[in-house]
Amino acid sequence: MEPPAPSRRVTIVDVARHAQVSTTAVSKVLRNAYGASPEMRAKVRRAIDELGYRPLAAARGLRGRTYTIGVMLPDIRNPFFPEIVDGITGRLADTDYQVFLGPGGCNDEKAEARVTEAMIDRGMDGIVLIAPVSSRARLEHIATAVPTVVVGRHGHSSVYDTVTDDDVAGASMLVGHLTGLGHRRIAHIEHHETDPTRSEEMPNAQRADGYRRAMRAHGLAGEIDVVSTSYTQEGGYEGARQLLARPHRPTAVFAGADIVAMGVLEAFAEAGVSVPDDISVAGYDNTTFASFGPISLTSVDQAGHEIGANAARLLVERIADRLKPPVQIKLSPTLVPRRTTAPPPA
C-alpha cells in the first residue's frame, strides 16, 4: 500500500480567495501594515483560522523578520535560568515572537559559539545571552550581527544592552544577615574563574567580591574563607567536603547559588551535620526549590522573572531601533530568610 500523499500547504493565495480579498490585503494584515481596515483584518484573520494557514518562517525572514528570538542558556540543570526564560516568554506572550532555547554547554566558549552562530544563521531577529562566558569581543561581534541583550554580565558595551542583579549588594545583604545572627566564621563557595574580564563581569565574581567586602566591613577580614569549585550541585558538594575537613569548621556557609547550596546540603546530610543546628547554609537566586518546605533555604532573591521581562523588552526595542543608545539595567535583590539559617551553636 502506498503511503498517503502529503497534504498541500495552505498558501496566502488560498487565504485571499477564502476571505474574498486580494493577496496584497492579506500581506498587509500579516505584516500589521498600514492600510487595512478593521473589517478587512477581521475577514483575513477569520480565513487564516478556518484554513489553518501558517506563514513560512523562511519567507518572513526574506521580508525582514522571522519573529523568532533565541535564548542561550549556560546550564539547563540550574533551576534559576527557567525563571528568566519564564519572564522572557511572559513579556512576549502578546506579540508574534516565538522563543527558541539553546543550551550553551555549561561554561564552554566553543559550545556557546556554536549555539549563537546557529541562531544567527537561522535568521533569528534577536538573541538573549544568559550569563555568557564568551569574551567581550565575541559578545560585541554577535551584537553587530543581530540585536542582542546580555543577562548577568556587569560590563557595559556600546552595541548591546545588559540586565543584571546587584550581586555585590546581594552578597553583602546575606553576610549581614549571618553576622546579625551571631556568626563570625562564614565561608563562601564561589565559581572558580581565571579569565580577567570574566573575573570583573560575571555574577559569581561579583558575589565573591561582595562577600569579601562585607566580611571586612563587619570586622571579619581574618575570617574570610573562600572555596573555589563550580556553580553546580557537584561543586557545592565538593566545596562542603573541603569545609568539613577544616580544623575549624565554619558556622555558616554562603553558597554562591542555590544549585550550589543543594550540593552543600547533600554533603552535610551524608556527614551527619545538622542544618542549621551545627552549620547554617544560605544560597543565592531564590529558586523554586528554596521555598520547598522540607528544604526551606535562606536565599537572595534576584527576581529572575523580572530580569527576563526586562531583557525581552530591551530586545524588542533594539530590534525596532538598532541605533538606539545602549541600556544597562541593574535590579536590587532582596533577602528571603528561611529555616536553614539560625544563630551559631553555643
Q: How far apart are CA 278 and CA 345, in angstroms?
A: 6
Question: For residue range 82-115, what is the model confidence (pLDDT) as tens digits?
Answer: 999 999 999 999 898 999 999 876 678 889 999 9
Q: How far is CA 39 from CA 16, 17, 43, 45, 242, in A?
A: 14, 16, 6, 10, 70
Question: Which set of grid coordinates corresponds to residue 287?
Answer: 529558586
Q: How many Å apart are CA 229 and CA 242, to the nearest integer?
A: 10
Asked whether residue 3 carries a pLDDT value surpassing 80, the answer given is no
pLDDT tens figures, 268-285: 999 999 999 999 999 999
Residues 293 and 298: their CA atoms lie apart, in Å, by: 12
DSSP class of residue 87 equals: H
Helices (H), the chain: 12-19, 23-30, 38-51, 57-62, 81-91, 109-121, 136-145, 167-180, 196-201, 203-217, 233-244, 258-270, 304-320
Please give the span between the terminal C-alpha atoms of the chain, in angstroms, as a whole number: 81
Helix axes 167-180, 203-217, angle to 10 degrees: 40
pLDDT at 1 over 50: no
Q: Parallel, antiparallel, or unpaired: how do β-strands 334-336 and 299-301 relate?
A: antiparallel
Average pLDDT over all residues of the chain:
91
Question: Rg for the chain (alpha carbons), in Å?
Answer: 25
Do 230 and 191 form a contact (C-beta atoms < 8 A)?
yes
The three three-digit cell numbers of residue 336, written as one number: 528571603
Lowest mean pLDDT: which of 30-34, 56-60, 259-263, 296-300? 56-60
161's CB contacts (< 8 A; 6+ apart) are 148, 149, 150, 314, 315, 318, 326, 327, 328, 329
